[in-house]
A and B are shown apart, each in its own frame.
Chain A
Amino acid sequence: MNAAPLDSAQPVFEEDQARADVYALIARLFYAGPDAHLLAAVAGAGAIAGSDETTPMAAAWRALGTAAAATDAQAAQEEYDHVFVGTGKAEITPYASHYLAESMQERVLVRLRETLTEMGLAKTGSATEYEDHLSGLCEVMRHLIFFGSGDVAVQKQKSFFLEYLDSWDAVFCAAVMASPNTNFYKHVAVFTKAFLDVERSSFQLI
């Protein structure tokens, strides 16, 4: 069988590279609590140089940087473990199927695995998380962005986004913002929502 080839001949525009980087960061932050090195990098990354610095995403990025500077890595990791892992049932689960299953009347995870197989992707043997983890979905988006900035590639990103990320991301982020047990992750959630809102809007333009 043939996996869809990665067409590296297609250029990736600057803004799409930036999107891939943001997806990578969001994936990392929701996969595990940040270490001191990552917190320092976020704190020192500087402002987003958009044409309008008052946009929600630019503001959220500034706030995240400030929070990262004021956050101790151990505290952030404990916060992550407490809220997203927990003992027994996690307070807030980062898995799409938890949010999508009832409304879609279909097993999201089964369909997602089929989609990933078509893309030539599979979970590593060492990963214990299911494929519908927010971080996994963000990594797939990042992967799709590297197919280039052509129309077909962007449409594939749009399809995957609408099917597996759209709508539940807002519910998830709202829960993280509202939790009495989050502090640093409130800022992560605000930034994540601001970015995914940008994604949502940009996909409506094509």
Chain B
Amino acid sequence: MSQGQTKLSRRNFLFAVGAGGAASAAAIVAKTVPQVQPAATADDKKKTRGYQTSAHIRNYYRTTKV
């Protein structure tokens, strides 16, 4: 129960300071980044699954099976 309350307070904190509400603002910006270079290929997305890559991330890190 205390863990649940902690999580809740963290969420409340993030919303209160504006980090939670940044979704609409920063997401618009984040979405523009991949347009600078070609979007990730389907193959890239398959490899990384839940990890949405931008051109910049692909240029920087590659998720690999070790």
Contact = CB atoms under 8 A, between A and B. Distances in A.
B11 to A, nearest CB: 6
Contact of B26 (A25, A117, A120, A151): A25
Contacts of B27: 17-18, 21
A61 B62 CA distance: 30
B-side interface size class: 35 or more
B19 A143 contact: no
Interface string A4-16: 0011100001110
B39 interface: no
Nearest to A16: B14
Given A37-B36, A55-B18, A120-B63, A205 B26 contact: no
B16 A24 contact: no
A96 B57 CA distance: 18
A129 B20 contact: no
A135 B22 CA distance: 19
B3 A151 contact: yes
B1 interface: no
Interface of B: 3, 6-7, 9-11, 13-30, 32-33, 35-36, 48-52, 54, 56-66
Interface of A: 1-3, 6-8, 13-15, 17-22, 24-25, 27-28, 31, 35, 37-38, 41-42, 44-53, 55-58, 61, 116-117, 120-124, 126-127, 129, 135-136, 139-140, 142-143, 146-147, 151, 154, 195, 198, 201-202, 205-206
